[in-house]
Structure 1
Amino acid sequence: MIYSDKTIDLINAAEDLAYSLSQSETGQAYRLAKQARANSRQAQDVIRDFNRIKEEYELVQRFGRYHPDYQTITKKVHEIKRALDLQEEVAQFKKAEKQLETLLGQVSLVLAGQVSPQIKVPTGNPFFDQGCAGGCSTGGSCSCSG
């Protein structure tokens, strides 16, 4: 591919946008929460326990309800998942991650909308997807024009 001046300017603008996003309040909160989760011994213990139980669960799932440990492992998975969700650093990280995902979804919608209103942007967020705000994938069954 031969790069024109416009292509290089576009790449530079994208890099500037990425830098601005990473330096934003949301980007910084995400990085801090990720670092706090990584530095928390308690969080790492719960994550390790969850991953171990998840592997056991995946083995049991091959046989489903017919596996002799199905009930026990399923109960353990739910208990450790709850402990993981309630662990402070993990909960803060998930919150920051969701906020960053929302911001990136909003930016994606703006960028796509500037090119064409028909571009579908899978934001993964029903708030943005409703009303065909760029994320409709129903093929028009929602009465949108897309």
Structure 2
Amino acid sequence: MLATQTSVDILDQADILANLILQSEVFDDYKTSKCKVKNNLDLQKLIRDFNKMKEKYEEVQRFGKYHPNYTEVSQQTREMKRTVDLHEDVIAFKKAEKSLEALLNEVSRVIADAVSPLIKVPTGNPFFDSMSCSGGCATGGGCGCG
């Protein structure tokens, strides 16, 4: 592809947009919450312990309910996951992560719509992504994909 002035301008505008996102309050909240998770030593130990428990769980899953520790390991894994998920720093991080994802999805949608309303933008939500046509809907273009 030859670099034209138009493509250079588009790349410059993309850099400007990226920098605006990096300077946004949404991204700042994301960075702050990620840093809190990373620097919380108790939480990091809990996450390491959970990852070890997941390895045990995967081993038990190979044999399913026939493994002698199936029930015990499954229950411990669920309890540990709940403990990690309910930690205030993890809750804040997941909330910030979802906000950043929503911002990026919205920006992607605006850009795609500016080009053509027929451009499909993945939302990160498998339910809604599966509702959009991927070209194999067999409606003869009735859904707008054709």
TM over 0.5: yes
Q: Which runs of 5+ in 1 are unaligned?
A: none
Larger Rg: 2
Q: How far 1:74 sits from its partner (Å)?
A: 0.7
Q: Alpha-carbon deviations, 1:6-39, whole Å to 9, x = none?
A: 1111111111111111110100000000001111
After TM superposition, give the deviation of residue 124 of structure 1 in Å: 2.1
Secondary structure of the corresponding residue to residue 122 of structure 1: coil
Matched, 1:7 2:18: no
How high is the TM-score relative to the length of structure 2?
A: 0.86
- Residue type of the partner of 2:57? Y
Hey, what does 1:114 align to over in structure 2? 114
Q: What are the ranges of 5 or more consecutive residues in structure 2 without an aligned counterpart?
A: none
Task: Give the partner amino acid of 2:60.
Answer: V
TM score, norm. by length of structure 1? 0.86
Q: Assess, with a 3 A threshold, how the Cα gap between structure 1 residues 102 and 2 changes in structure 2: closer, same or farther.
A: same
**1:97 match:** 97
Q: Is contact 1:102-1:125 (8 Å) kept?
A: no
Give yes or no for the alignment of 1:19 onto 2:15: no
Q: Which amino acid aligns with 1:50?
A: F
SS of alignment partner, residue 29 of structure 1? helix
Question: Runs (4+) of structure 1 moved beyond 4 Å?
Answer: none
In the alignment of these two chains, the number of paired residues is 141
2:37/2:44 contact within 8 Å kept: yes
The amino acid of 1:44's aligned partner reads Q
Question: In structure 1, what is the Cα distance between the partners aligned to 2:61 and 2:48?
Answer: 20
Instruction: Give the 3 Å change call, closer, same or farther, for CA 51–126 of structure 1 in structure 2.
Output: closer
Matched residue of 2:123: which SS?
Answer: coil
Identical-pair percentage: 46
1:16-67 Cα shifts (integer Å, max 9, x gaps): 1111111101000000000011111121111111111111111111122222
